[in-house]
Amino acid sequence: MIKVGIVGGTGYTGSELLRLLVHHPGVAVSVVTSRADAGTRVDAMFPQLRGHVELEFASPDTPALSDCELVFFATPNGTAMQHAPALLSAGVRVIDLAADFRLDQVEVWEHWYGMTHAAPSLLGEAVYGLPEINREAIRGARLVANPGCYPTAVTLGLLPLLETGAEAGLVDKDRLICDVKSGVTGAGRKASTGLLMAEVGESFKAYSVSGHRHQPEIRANLRRATGQEVGLTFVPHLVPMARGIEATLYAFLTDDRTDLQTLYEQRYADEPFVDVMPSAAALETRSVRGTNLCRLSVVEPLGNGVVVVQSVIDNLVKGAAGQAVQNMNLMFGLDEALALPTVGLVP
215-274 residues near a second copy, rule: CB under 8 A: 215, 231, 233-235, 237, 239-244, 246, 248, 250, 252
Q: Where are the beta strands (DSSP E) in 25-69?
A: 27-33
Q: Report d(CA 328, CA 337) in Å as an integer.
A: 10
Rounded alpha-carbon distances, angstroms, from residue 273 to 3, 158, 318, 322: 25, 16, 8, 10
Residue 35 makes contact with a second copy by CB under 8 A: no
List binders of a second copy among 41-70 (CB under 8 A): 44, 46-52
Q: Spell out the residues 6+ positions from residue 79 whose beta carbon is closer than 8 angstroms to its own.
A: 7, 8, 73, 98, 100
Q: Which is nearer to a second copy, 93 or 243 (CB)?
A: 243
Residue 296 C-beta: closest distance to a second copy, Å: 12
Residue 251 has φ and ψ, to the nearest 5°, of -140, 145
CA–CA distance, 300 with 170 (Å, rounded to integer):
13
> Interface with a second copy includes 191 (CB under 8 A)?
yes
202 binds a second copy (CB under 8 A): yes
Position 140 contacts a second copy (CB under 8 A): no
Catalytic site includes residue 149? yes
Choose one: 56-64, 98-106, 157-165, 186-194; the region binding a second copy (CB under 8 A).
Answer: 186-194
Q: What residues contact residue 82 under an 8 Å CB cut-off, 6+ apart?
A: 118, 119
Contact yes or no for 291/317 (Cβ under 8 A): yes
CB of 218 to a second copy, least distance (A): 13
Q: Which one among 61, 207, 229, 266 touches a second copy, defined by CB under 8 A? A: 207
Residues 287-326, interacting with a second copy (CB under 8 A): 287-291, 295, 297, 299-302, 304, 306, 308, 310, 312
Count residues binding a second copy (CB under 8 A).
88
> Residue 65 in contact with residue 7, Cβ under 8 Å?
yes
Told to check if 168 binds a second copy by CB under 8 A, we report: no
Among 63, 121, 168, 198, binds a second copy (CB under 8 A): 198
Does residue 189 bind a second copy (CB under 8 A)? yes
Considering only the stretches 24-32, 94-102, 279-287, 331-339, report the one whose residues sit in contact with a second copy under the rule CB under 8 A.
279-287
User: DSSP letter at 130?
Assistant: -
177 binds a second copy (CB under 8 A): yes
Are 91 and 20 contacting, i.e. CB atoms less than 8 angstroms apart? no
> CA 215 to CA 248: how far, in whole Å?
15
Q: Which residue numbers are catalytic?
A: 149
